[in-house]
Structure 1
Amino acid sequence: MYKKALTSLIILFFMMGFITCLNDILVPYLKAVFDLSYSQAALVQFCFFAAYGLTSIPFSKLIEKVGYQTGMVIGFSLAALGCLLFYPAVALHAYPLFLGALFVLASGIVLLQVAANPCVSVIGPKETASSRLTMAQAFNSLGTFIAPFFGAYFILSALAHSSHAEGVVYPYLFIAGVLVAIALVLSRLNLAGMDSAEKDESLWREVLADRGLMLGMVGIFCYVGAEVAIGSFLVNYIKELTQMPEAEAASLIALYWGGAMLGRFIGIFTLKAFAPAKVLSVHAILAIILIIYSMNATGMLAVVSMVLVGLCNSIMFPTIFTLGIKSLKSGQEKKGSGLLATAILGGAMVPLLTGLLADRIGLHHAFVLPVLCYGYIAWLGVNHLKAR
C-alpha cells in the first residue's frame, strides 16, 4: 500500500507542476492570438490563482468529509473537466471562455494540493515525512521544467501557422485524457491509510490571531506573486530584448523553473548548515539584485539575469511555509496550512498588477513590483532572525 500511495503522490505532484507552469506558455500564446494588452493577458494567471483564494478552505472541509483518496480522485476529475472546456473556448474563439476553463482546471489543482500536502505525512513513518515531501516536490519541479518544452513544441509553434487558438486543443485534450486515466486508476487502488483525514477542532479565528502565521501569509502572497509574474511575462520580455521567437524563448522559461528545481536540492544542505530565515533573506536579496540589474541592462545579459532569479526562488515557499506555522499550537497546523494556501492568491494579483504597470511604463521596468515583493521576503527573514 505504501508504494502505491507514494507513487500516486509523485504523479500528482508532477502533474500539478506541469499544468501550473503551462500557464507561462498560455500567456504569450493567448496574448498573440487575441491581440491582448499585458494586463489582459495576465488574466490567465489571475483566473488560475484566484481559485486558491476562493476554494482552499472549502476544499479543506471537503477533504475532512470524504478523505484524501476520494478528494484526489475528485481533484483529477475536476482538472480534466477544465482541460476539456478548452474545446468549446477554441470553437467559439472566446477569451472569457478560456478564463472560465482555467478557473475550473485550477480548482481541481487546488483540491489536489489541499489533499496531497498533509497526505504525505500520513502514508508512512513521521520521521521520514520531510524526505518524502522533498522527493514529491522534486517531481513537482520536474513537471515545471518539462512543461515549457511541451508548450513550445505543441502550442507556441502553432503561432507560425495560424492566428486562431486551435493550437491548445489537442495538448489540453491529451492532458485531460491523462488526468481521467489517473483518476480511474486511483479510484480502484486500495489505499486504506489515505481513507480519512483527522479533524481539527481549533477555531479559525484562533489560528488567524497568530502573528507569525499572518506574516507568513503575506510572505507566501509576495513569493508566489513575484515568481508567477516573472514566469508569465518572461517570453515577451525575452522577445522584446532579443527578438527571439516565442517557441525558442520558452526554452529559457524551462531554465527559470529548472533553476528552482536545482536550488531545492542545494537547499537541502544550505538549510541544514544555516538558519532558514537567514537563507531566505539572502535568496531574496540576491533576487532583488538580479532583477534590478536586468531592468538596467539589455540583450542576453538582461535575460540571463532574470532567468537566474529562478534559482533564488527555490527554497522560498517551503521556508516561508515552515516559518509561518512554526508558532502555531499543536493541532492548528492543518488550518494554518489551509490559510497559507489561500495566500497563493498572490499568483493572481501580482501578475495582473505587473501587467497593468507594463501597459503604462513598459515591460522592461514593470518588474519593479516583484522587487518590492522580494523586499518584503528579505525583511521577513530578518524579522524572524531578530525574534530568535
Structure 2
Amino acid sequence: MTDRNSPHAASGERLGAGSRAPLLPLALVVALFFLWGVANNLNDVLIAHFKGLFTLSDFEAGLVQSAFYLGYFCLAIPAALFMRRFGYRAAVLLGLCLYGIGALLFWPAAGLASYPAFLLALFVIASGLGFLETSANPLIARMGDEASAARRLNLAQAFNPLGSIVGVLIGRAFILSDTGDHSATAVQGPYLAIGLGVFLWALLIRLVRFPPVATARDADEGVGAAGDFRAVLRRRQVLLGIAAQFFYVGAQVGVWSFLIRYAEVAVPGTAPRAASDYLTASLVLFMAGRFAGAMLMGRVAPRRLLALFAAIGGACCLFATLAGGHAGVLALVASSFFMSIMYPTIFAESVHGLGGLTKSASALLVMAIIGGAVFPALMGLVSDASGTIVRAMSVPAVCFAVVLAFALAPRGAARSSASPDA
C-alpha cells in the first residue's frame, strides 16, 4: 500500500505542496472547472427542452440527470486507478477526450431524434467529467499549502458557476423557444462547438509543462490501490464527507433542474426563456457566494461557515415548498448563494491530512455525486404524486439538513482514530 509516510508518497504525492504552482498550468486546471460547469447546467435547459420534445413526465425528464450523474459514479474509481498509474494530468487528458466525444454524439442523437441516444451521449460526457473532477479537485488542493486547501479550492470552484452561467445562456439562446417549437436539431450546434473547444483545451494541456505533482505516478497500482481504498473507508471523516456530498449534490442538482419548471408552475404565464433568467440569476449568486465564501474563510472556520450556509439554504427550500408563488421562486434563487461553498468545503475537509490516500478518497467523494442522479428523479416522483413541482422542493430541504449535520460534527468525530498506516 502506498501510504502517506512512504518514500514514494514523499517524492511523488507531496511534490509541489507548500510551494507556488506555475501560473500557466494552474490556469489551465482552473479552466476545467469552467468547462464542466457548462455541461452541468446545460442539463437544466435540456430537461425543459426534452420534456416538450418527447412529451415526458417530470420523472422521465429527471432521467437526464440520472444518466448524467451515473457516469460520475461508474467512472470515479477507474479514474482513481488510472491516476495512480499515469498521474493527475493523464487523467485530465482522458477526461477531456471523453467529454469531447460525448458532446459530438449529440449530433447523431439529434438526427435520430432519440431520447435514449441523448441519454447515452450525456453518460459519455459525464464519464469524462468523472475523470476531470476526480483529478482536478485534489490536484488544486495539493498545489500549495494544505492548510489553505479549502480556501484555494473554493477560489478555483468559483469559475465553475461562471461556466454554468455560460451554459444556461447558450441553452437560452440556441435551445429553448418561447413559441413552443421544440426541435431535436437545436442542440447540434451548441454541443458541436463545446466538443471542439474541449479537444482544443486537451491539446493545450498536453503541450504545457506541468509541475511534478501533476505527473507523478504510483508504483504499486495493484494491491496498493485496494489497500488504499480499505484504509480510506476506515476514515470517518471520509465516510461522513461522502454522505454529505451525496445529499448536497442531490440538493443542488434538484433545485437547478426544476427551477425553470417551478417558475412556470408557481408563476403562471412564465415562458421557458423567461424562467431561465431565474436560473441565470441563481448561478450569478452561486458564483458570488464562492468568492464571498473564500474571503470569509480567512476569518471564519470552514466548517462553521458551512453550517451557517447549510441552515439558510435548507430554510430557503422549505419556504419555497410552503409558500410557492413568486416569493418561492426568489427563495430558491437565493438558496444558490448558500450552496456555493458546500462542494469544495466538504471535499477539502474530507481529504484533509490524507496524503497518499488523497486519490482514493477523491474517487469515493466523486462517486457521491450519484446523488445528482437520485434526487432529481425522487423530486420528479414527489411532483407527479402531489400534482405540483412546488411540493418537491421539500426534498432538497432535507438534503441540506444532512450537510448541516456534517458541518456540526465535532472534529474528533470527523476523523478516525485509526491510522491507515496501522
TM class by smaller structure:
over 0.9
What amino acid sits opposite 2:185 in the alignment? E
Residue 198 of structure 2 is matched in structure 1 by 179
Unaligned runs of 5+ in 1: none
Structure 1 pair 124/325, CA: closer, same or farther in 2 (3 Å)?
Answer: closer
Where in structure 2 are the equivalents of 1:205-216 lying within 5 Å?
A: 205-216=230-241
Residue 356 of structure 1 is matched in structure 2 by 381
**TM-aligned CA deviation for residue 67 of structure 1:** 2.6
TM-score (norm 2): 0.85
Residue 61 of structure 1 is matched in structure 2 by 81
Instruction: Describe the superposition over 1:190-235 as per-residue Cα deviations: whole angstroms up to 9, x where unpaired.
Output: 3363333456845311211222211111100000000000000000
Q: Does 1:217 align with 2:242?
A: yes
Structure 1 pair 309/62, CA: closer, same or farther in 2 (3 Å)?
Answer: same
Q: Does 1:103 align with 2:123?
A: yes
What amino acid sits opposite 1:69 in the alignment? R
Q: Does 1:50 align with 2:70?
A: yes
Q: Distance in 1 between matches of 2:46 and 2:359?
A: 33
Residue 188 of structure 1 is matched in structure 2 by 207
Residue 235 of structure 1 is matched in structure 2 by 260
Which of 302-311 and 61-70 deviates more? 61-70
Q: Distance in 2 between matches of 1:236 and 1:199?
A: 50
Residue 308 of structure 1 is matched in structure 2 by 334
Q: Does 1:154 align with 2:177?
A: no
Q: Distance in 2 between matches of 1:141 and 1:155?
A: 20
SS of residue matched to 1:160 = coil
Q: Distance in 1 between matches of 2:312 and 2:65?
A: 25
Structure 1 pair 235/315, CA: closer, same or farther in 2 (3 Å)?
Answer: same
Where in structure 2 are the equivalents of 1:90-129 lying within 5 Å?
A: 90-121=110-141
Unaligned runs of 5+ in 2: 1-20, 415-422
Q: Distance in 1 between matches of 2:324 and 2:165?
A: 25
1:248 to 266, 269, 274: 274
Residues 5 and 123 in structure 1, CA contact (< 8 A), matched pair in contact too = no
Residue 361 of structure 2 is matched in structure 1 by 336
**TM-aligned CA deviation for residue 180 of structure 1:** 1.7
TM-score (norm 1): 0.92
Residue 140 of structure 1 is matched in structure 2 by 160
Structure 1 pair 377/70, CA: closer, same or farther in 2 (3 Å)?
Answer: closer
What amino acid sits opposite 2:391 in the alignment? H
Which of 86-95 and 193-202 deviates more? 193-202
Structure 1 pair 332/74, CA: closer, same or farther in 2 (3 Å)?
Answer: closer
Q: Does 1:9 align with 2:34?
A: no
What amino acid sits opposite 1:300 in the alignment? H
Instruction: Describe the superposition over 1:142-189 as per-residue Cα deviations: whole angstroms up to 9, x where unpaired.
Output: 1112221121011113x6373331111111011111112222233233
Structure 1 pair 274/256, CA: closer, same or farther in 2 (3 Å)?
Answer: same
Q: Distance in 2 between matches of 1:199 and 1:336?
A: 18
| Percent identity of paired positions between Structure 1 and Structure 2 | 33
Residue 170 of structure 1 is matched in structure 2 by 189
Q: Distance in 2 between matches of 1:304 and 1:69?
A: 41
**TM-aligned CA deviation for residue 276 of structure 1:** 2.6
Residue 418 of structure 2 is matched in structure 1 by none
**TM-aligned CA deviation for residue 275 of structure 1:** 3.2
Q: Does 1:24 align with 2:24?
A: no
2:396 to 353, 363, 370: 370
- Count of residue correspondences: 386
**TM-aligned CA deviation for residue 87 of structure 1:** 1.3
Q: Distance in 1 between matches of 2:140 and 2:400?
A: 29
Q: Distance in 1 between matches of 2:334 and 2:38?
A: 20
Q: Distance in 2 between matches of 1:100 and 1:20?
A: 15
Q: Distance in 2 between matches of 1:291 and 1:125?
A: 36
